[in-house]
Every structure is written in structure tokens, then in C-alpha cells.
Amino acid sequence: MPEKTYDHNQIELKWHERWKDEGLYRAEENSTKPKYYVLEMLPYPSGALHIGHIRNYSIGDALARHMWMRGYNVLHPMGWDAFGLPAENAAIANQRPPREWTLANIEKMKRTHRRFAFSYDWDREVTTCEPEYYRWNQWFFLRMIERGLAYRKQALVNWCPLCATVLANEQVVDGCCWRHETTPVEQRALEQWFLRTTAYADELLRDIAQLEGAWPERVLTMQRNWIGRSEGAEVDFTVAGYGPVRVFTTRIDTIYGATCLILAPEHEIVATRLGPEAQAAAKKMIDARAQQGPGDVEKEGFDTGLRAMNPFATDPLNRETIPVWVGNFVLMGYGTGAIMAVPAHDQRDFEFCRKYGIDIRPVIRPVNGELADPATMTDASDDYGIVENSGPWSGLTSEEARRRMAERAQAEGFGKPAITFRIKDWGVSRQRYWGTPIPVIHCPNDGVVPVPDDQLPVLLPRQIQITGKGRSPLDEVPEFVNVTCPKCGGPARRETDTMDTFVDSSWYFYRYCDAKNSSAPFDKKKIDYWFPIDQYIGGVEHAILHLIYSRFWTKMMRDIGLTTCDEPVRKLFTQGMVIRNGAKMSKSKGNVVPADEVADKHGADTARLFALFAAPPEKDVDWIDSSVEGIYRFLGRVYRFATRNLPVVEPGGDGSADVKILRKLHQTLKKITHDFDTRWHFNTSISAIMELVNEMYLEESHISSAAMAQTLRILTLMMAPFAPYVAQELWEEQGGDGPVFKQDWPDFDPDLARESEVEIVVQINGKVRARLIVPPGTDANGLTSIARDDEKVQALLAGKTVVKIIAVPDKLINFVIKG
Ligand SMILES: [Zn+2]
Ligand SMILES: [Zn+2]
């Protein structure tokens, strides 16, 4: 047959039309097949998909298609994280209602999704701004109120005095209001809603053990640090004229070295015991903290003039007191909002006390050393050692003193052993319009009254004027605000705060299993079948909040009897970013490559293949136009070769290259199969396919028709997860029936696939420590990963820092280590 030129538009349009209404990607209910739930994080409907999105979805899509070919019942859904601030900002900017703006963006993005033939089961689509979905946010919220997991307390919000409105954190730009960049943001206290994530702090930490090996180690580390468990003790210092002030310390053994007490600027003492000048100074610190954001802040403080007594200083002749300070680095949310400063044994305290000339008193010496001299100390030492200058405790080891002193505090009633967590309760109140209304009513007689279940959903009003002024836009909608109290029937006010949009994404993936259920968030039986998610894919920027909140939500749902899962996600994969002109692709940087533009010019297959080929999925990808051209030419080569050799009829070539080409074919198949099972090095999978195609070109006239038929068939199946349109077209050209991704993934022939092998040596700091068998020509990256996978090498490298790796293909790999 004469070869055909590769016309991506013609091929992609043809299949797009044919696939449109076929429900090709529908997950099966009540299937006897093994299940596989693969999920990409749901996008915010910001306008248009760009190539960064395409990369994320191409990874998940390749996996979904591959798993179908392996015989699984695959669930691969998609939805929209549709509430949030940008819709509200767009409404202020161009007078377009947030809902309209959001739904229009969803339509647009969904068209692109379909154009790229991502294999989503659209019957299960979830749009979080629709009442069918957010009513369940409200329902969960009521369950949490019942269990004491949702509560109200005073907390600070960002306030712009010029706009007279509350600002979201994202609206604070370099400490100023986003709308006029010279007005510094202030902090105001408001009654707000919190979810008690701390009730699960212990479990969130403990269950990280279940995720070990299946989530990236750095994500687990970030989560551990975020939860931040520390063991120590609480003790009360008595402040003259006020009473006991509780502090938390992990080092009660150093308490005789405490030379001042430092309070958070929000501490109650500031408001109740200090004068207006001190209060103003404290307020300034609070505002400055909001403006600076996280990071290293210069430590500042002032002396309150109050004095505190160390509870361990019980000697009546020696009841010394220490000064009470306020410090900007002491946080109200962590521990108790007050610390004892032990400058000799804590670096942060050391810097603060040196700056303000506060005493430094060493009380721990090294086991075989002397106490440091405060006059010449340049740093604090937080090492354990022997306790000195500490009354009856002198001479004990730090460990012993920690235990016994905490026991004494408990026995005497001025403290106790304690565990503290860095994680705080989740503040979910937002003074915004475009979110889930919090389902409570404020009644002058009954206080906070939950909206009864049968009155859900509390609908967000659609007609609303967003001016960007006032506490919350919902305050300006009388028909929303003015209600009848469900308890006493008297006039009452509806809560106008809405929920943080992280609530929406905390459980959306459960809803996919039963997206149309109108009587419950989902049917437990469906969750039992589909959960946990087998593979979750998304950006590492969601490694903390989204995943902590999802884990919290899962445990909460389990405890109210809705599921039996402890953890929602079995395996997590965090893909790298797409970079262009040296920066992450983003709308605000103006370096976005719109997905549709690439699809117009080169086709969806090219865009997908590029996204997978340019780097291993976990690494960043640099978008380079010329390499996109290269991918496009490659698809053309495959297509022309296949069409001119089809249909495969006798007689073909002389057959002299059959063994060679079939070896190459089965080696490629083995490699790709292995890659899907393990590390998803799709870039090397695709380059292996490219090498195979080169070989086919070279040997074209020496391949018998039987070998040609086998080669083209397997080549097509191997390409199906990566380039579905071309693969489908070639499948049809070969006379294949049905969707190519529903064919069985071919088995490789182990004899043909066996590669020749070479032995390399593994050196550590130049000494031969191991020998490994590898395929010839394995490059430096390949050698590194093979070596790191080897148990013996792993043991040798455990706990060491690799500072350099030298790899010589077919010969050796040398790890230069430290420590
Ligand atoms: Zn403002
Ligand atoms: Zn009432």
C-alpha cells in the first residue's frame, strides 16, 4: 500500500467524533475484575489548560490506559475545584457573576480535555460549586459540630483599613492590600470556625508508617514536620500580679537556666495587664508578622516590667524572679503562647537575650567537659549532658532530669509531662462569597443553632453584588442573612462565613465513586470496592495542606461510620513542573503555552508524547519548541512506515533481519512493561520505541511479512498508552477491532527479550564494594538507579551523604560519600 502522510488533524478529528458518545472510559459497576483507581488532582477552573496541566494528565492517562490493557477495571475520573477567590476577583474586575465565570471556564477546559482524549469517566464528574456537592460539605460540618470537631473561637484575620474588608492570605502582597499596594494590612480578631485537626494529630503522624515506600519520602518528611510532635513538659511560672503562666518545654532539665519568660504578643497578659503603649507595640508585632509572612524574621521584643517566679526555685531564701518579655517570635498557636528562655541551651533564645542584654546561665555541661562561660559563648548548645547549678537536680544526666523533673512538677501540681504538636486546628472560616455556606444560624436566644439536616443545602445566593467592601459579601444579602431560628422560631441571622475551599478537595475523590447519590455523600459499599486510591498524581505544592486535610477527613469519616479506610491514598506520585524561559509555567508570569495551541499545530498526541518524553515524570521539564517538532516528526515516521507496510501480505522481505528485529521488539516491550510496573521512566520508554523504529527503517526490506505483522502489532499496542490517536488509527489500518486500549497488553517473549549483559563494579570512595550485572551501554543515570536499587549498595550508603557520583558505562560507578 502506498504510504500515507501523517495528518494529525484528520486522524484526531475522526476519532474524536467516533469516540464522542461511546462512554469508552466508563468504569464498571459490580465487576469481577481487579479494580484500579487512578486519579490526577482536580484542577481549579482558571480559564484554559496549558501544557503544564497536560503533563499531569498525560501521566495519569498513560497509566489508566495501560491498566485497562492489563485487564483491570479502571476508575479514572475528573472534576473541578470550582470555589475560590479568583472567581470573586474576576467578578469585581469585570462584573461577571462568579458562577457564570466558573462554569464557562469549566466548559472550555473540558473541551480541551476531550480533545486530548484523556480517558475520563465523565459520568462521574464532580463540580464542587454545585449544591449537589457542597450540601455534603455542610452535612459533614454538622456531624463535626455534633462531635466537637467543629468549634468557634476568636482568631486574627487580615484587614485592609482602606477597603474596610477582610483579605484572604492570597490577597496580601508583600504585607499590603493587593488592590492598592501601599496600604499595610492589619490584623483583627473575629469569631471564626475551626476544625479540630489536632484531635487526629497522633494518628496522622502514626499512620505515615503505612505510607512509607508508597509516597515520596520528602512528602512524608514534610508531613511529619508539619505535624511536628515533640515530647516534653508543661510548667507554670507565676507572674506577680497575674498568676500562673504555663509554658511548654522539651528541655525541662534546663529550667534553672531560664533567665526570662517571653510571651506571644497576643497573650492575654498584654491585653489585661499592660498599658496602651505596650499594647500598641504588641499590635505592631502582630501586624508585622502578617506582612512579613513566614521566613526568618529579626527577633524583637520588649520588657513588660513584670516579674515571674521559676516554679523549681523553691528555696525560700533564694526565690529569685526573672523578667517577663514580649517577643515577636513566640506564637500563640504553638504550645501555650509563652516560653521560658534558656539562652545558654537554645539558639533562638540565645540570639534574643544577647541582643537585649539578658542574663545567660549555662546549666548543662558535656559529660566529660566543663560548663560554658557565658561571657565568651558565641552559640547556644542544645546537647544533652550533665545538669549543673540546678539545686537538688545537679549531677543528673539530662535524660534522667527530664523524666524526674516532669514527675515532680506533676506531683507538686505546677506542671506535667506533655506532648505538643506543631499542627494547629484548621481555621475554615472565610469572609468570602464564593464558597460553601457554613450551615449555622445565630439566634439571640439560643446562640449558635445548626441548620437541621432536612434544610440542607444552605444555598449560596446567585444574585449578588460583590464590591470588595465590608466583612463578607453575604452580609449584604438580606434574604440570605435574615432567617427564622429553627429552635425558637424567632428572628435570627444566618452565618455569613463560607468554608475554606480545601474542604471541597478533602473528600471529592470519594464522591467520584457515587457522584449522583442524592441521599448520602456516597454509598459505603462503593467506597469499599474502589478505595483506597491506587495511584494519586499531582504537584508537590499540595504535599502538605491538601494531603493532611484529606487524611484528616478520611479518619473523621471512618469515625462517623461512613467508611472503613484509614488512609485515602495508597500510592502518591508528585510530578515535576513545566518550565519555560526559566520559570514555572503560570498565567501570572506570561510564559504559558496553551494546550489548544499545541494541539492545533502538532496534534494532541505530539503534545502528550512530548510531555512524557522530555524528562522522567518526577523531574521538571523545559518546554522547547524544537523538541516538540522532533516528536511530531517521529510520529510521522511511524505512521508512514506502518501505512506503506500494511496490509501485511506474503511475500514480504527476505526475512534475514527477523531475529534481530524481533529481539529488539521484545526487549523494548519488556522494558516498557517493567517501567510501567516500577518507576514510570516514560521518557526512556519512548526513546526505546524510537530506537526500535530506527531499526525497523534500517531493516525494512529484510523483514518477513510475519515478523512485520508482529512488529507493527506490538508497536501499536505499546504506543496506545502514550499516543492514543495514532495508535487507534494504526490499529484500524491493521484490521484491529474495538478500542486499542481495551486490547490485552502483549506478553514479551523472555528468550527474545534477554539482553546481553556486562558486569560493572560499584565503588565507594574508590574502593570496590560490589559487582552488578547490567545491560550493555547503560548510561550514568541508569547505572545510578540500578546501583541504588541494589540491597547491598543501599546498606553501604545508608545514612551517608553522597557528594558525587562518577559513572563510566560498562565499567564502573563510584559513589563519593561523606559521614
Ligand atoms: Zn485594600
Ligand atoms: Zn432561637
Measured in angstroms, how far is the CA atom of residue 129 from the centroid of ligand 2? Answer: 30
* Least confident stretch, 24-28, 428-432, 518-522: 428-432
State the pLDDT confidence band at 305, using cuts at 50, 70 and 90. Answer: very high
pLDDT surpassing 80 at residue 768: yes
Secondary structure of residue 41 in the 3-state scheme: coil
Q: Which ligand is nearest to the CA of 492?
A: 2
Residues 431/433/437/441 CA torsion (nearest 10 deg): 60
Interval 742-764 mean pLDDT: 90
- Identify the top-confidence range among 177-186, 290-299, 367-376, 508-517: 508-517
145 CA to middle of ligand 2, Å?
18
Three-state secondary structure call for residue 804: strand
* Residue 160 CA to ligand 1 centre (angstroms): 5
Q: How far is CA 363 from the centre of its chain?
A: 42
How far, in Å, from the CA of 449 to the mean position of ligand 2?
A: 7
How far does residue 588's CA lie from ligand 1's centre (Å)?
20
**What's the CA-to-centroid distance between 441 and ligand 1, angstroms?**
29
Of 42, 89, 198, 137, which is closest to residue 498 (Cα–Cα)?
137
Q: Is residue 505's pLDDT more than 90? A: yes
288 C-alpha to ligand 1 centroid (Å) = 17
If you average pLDDT over residues 499-513, what whole number do you get? 97
22 pLDDT more than 90: no
Centre of ligand 1 to C-alpha 671, Å, is 58
Dihedral angle sign, alpha carbons of residues 339, 341, 347, 352: positive
Q: Inform me whether the pLDDT recorded for 734 exceeds 80.
A: yes
From ligand 1's centre to the CA of 186, what distance in Å?
11
- As a whole number, mean pLDDT of residues 706-719 equals 96
Compute, in angstroms, the gap from residue 448 CA to the centroid of ligand 2.
9
pLDDT (mean) for 100-105: 95
pLDDT in tens, 637-665: 999 999 999 876 656 788 899 999 999 99
Q: Grid coordinates in use for 451? A: 441548620
Q: Is 359 exposed, middle or buried (0-12, 13-18, 19+ CB in 10 A)?
A: middle
Q: How far is the CA of 177 from the centre of ligand 1 (A)?
A: 5
- Of residues 179 and 543, more confidence is placed in 543
How much distance in Å is there from the Cα of 171 to the middle of ligand 1? 9
CB of 377 closer than 8 Å to CB of 371: no
pLDDT reported for residue 520:
97
Percentage of the chain modeled with pLDDT above 70: 98
Average pLDDT, the chain: 92
pLDDT of 295 over the 60 cut: no
> Residue 181 C-alpha to ligand 1 middle, in angstroms?
8
At residue 55, the pLDDT reads 93
- Higher pLDDT: 166 or 640? It is 640
Note the ligand closest to the C-alpha atom of 491: 2
* 183 Cα to the center of ligand 1, angstroms: 7
Asked if residue 587 has pLDDT above 80, the reply is no
Q: Which ligand is nearest to the CA of 178?
A: 1
Looking at the CA of 467, name the nearest ligand. Answer: 1
- The pLDDT score that the predictor gives to residue 405 is 95
Q: What is the pLDDT of residues 251-265, one digit of tens each?
A: 999 999 999 999 999
Instruction: Tell me how far the alpha carbon of residue 495 lies from the centroid of ligand 2, in angstroms.
Output: 14
Q: Highest mean pLDDT: which of 333-337, 616-620, 621-625?
A: 616-620
Cα(198)–Cα(557) distance, integer angstroms = 16
- Distance from the CA of 138 to the center of ligand 1, in angstroms? 31
- How far, in Å, is the centroid of ligand 1 from the Cα of 292? 17
Nearest ligand atom owner, CA of 487: 2
> How many angstroms does the Cα of residue 624 sit away from the middle of ligand 2?
64
621 vs 142, residue with greater confidence: 142
Provide the pairing of β-strand 498-499 with 572-575.
unpaired
pLDDT of residue 695: 96
Would the pLDDT of 317 be above 60?
Answer: no
Cell for 515? Answer: 457522584
Indicate which ligand has the atom closest to the C-alpha of 449.
Answer: 2
Tally of CB atoms within 10 A around 811? 11
Kindly report whether the peptide bond that precedes residue 444 is cis, defined as omega within 30 degrees of 0.
Answer: no
Which ligand has the nearest atom to the CA of 159? 1
Ligand whose nearest atom lies closest to the CA of 490: 2
Tell me, what's the pLDDT at 297? 73
Beta strands in 533-678 (DSSP E): 535-539, 572-575, 578-580, 583-584, 621-622
Question: Mean per-residue pLDDT for 337-356?
Answer: 95
| Residue 683 CA, ligand 2 centroid: distance in Å | 64
Ligand nearest 445 Cα, by number?
Answer: 2
Q: Tell me the pLDDT band of 243, cut-offs 50, 70 and 90.
A: very high
**Number of the ligand closest to the Cα of 468:** 1
CA of 152 to the centre of ligand 1 (A): 27
Could you tell me where the DSSP H helices lie in 386-502?
398-412, 478-481
Are the CB atoms for 510 and 521 separated by under 8 Å? yes
Residue 211 near residue 220 (C-beta atoms within 8 A): yes
Which helix (H) or strand (E) segment holds residue 341: the answer is strand 338-341
- Closest listed ligand to the CA of 488: 2
CB 778 within 8 A of CB 728: no
Q: How far is the CA of 556 from the centre of ligand 2 (A)?
A: 29
Q: Which ligand is nearest to the CA of 483?
A: 2
The tens digit of pLDDT for each residue in 39-90 reads 999 999 988 899 989 999 999 999 999 999 999 999 999 999 999 988 888 8
Please give the pLDDT value at position 157. 86
